[in-house]
Amino acid sequence: HSSQPTPPSYPAHLPLLPHAGRYPVPSSTPRLNAYVAPIPPHRGGTGTYAGLERIARKAKAALRERFTALAHHLSVEFLKETYAQMNRRGAAGVDRVSMAAYGQNLESNLGNLVDRLKRRAYDAPPVRRVYIPKGGNPKKLRPLGIPAVEDRLLQAAVARLLSAIYEPIFRDSSFGFRP
């Protein structure tokens, strides 16, 4: 257990997790404050989350620096944008909530999710396991995990943030998987 102060809403018997810059980083490592708010349309912005472009520029300009705080980017606006980009035909997870059902009360659902994230009370639900026929042999089945809509949304949002950091530093000769 580290000597860091424990936030009042965080159980003292649990170790601090590497969130929001709470993990030890050597003092010799430069840190970046990555907070960037979206620029609203009435101020000349597009209304989209401009912070991703700024994060990407910072990541490319300062290759040796570390982003130590990104959780604050998981706002209702950012999650709403991410939801709009998601596949609407995805199957429901273990909670049986479809994309359409989650979207009917989107503002409230996203507000609730952001609140749980801030309180560190979000707990990913189990992944629903289904078996589908294998490609070349329909008699053989392969397992497929289907996460809940809310968990898929959060995974996609985190992937967007991390892609903004790592995509600019990939070389053109890199052929690994990228979303």
Q: What is the pLDDT of residues 11-21, one digit of tens each?
A: 444 444 444 44
Q: Which of 153, 145, 101 is nearest to 127 (CA)?
A: 145
pLDDT band of residue 169 (cuts 50, 70, 90) is confident
Burial of 13 (0-12, 13-18, 19+ CB in 10 A): exposed
Q: pTM of the prediction? A: 0.68
The CB density around residue 134, as the number of other CB atoms within 10 Å, is 11
pLDDT top residue among 1 and 80: 80
Helix or strand (DSSP H, E) at 141? strand 141-146
pLDDT of residue 179: 59
Q: What is the mean pLDDT of residues 124-144?
A: 92
| Comparison of pLDDT for 62 and 100, the residue scoring more | 100
pLDDT one-digit tens code per residue, 7-58? 444 444 444 444 444 444 444 444 444 434 444 444 433 445 677 888 888 8
Per-residue model confidence (pLDDT) at position 171? 74
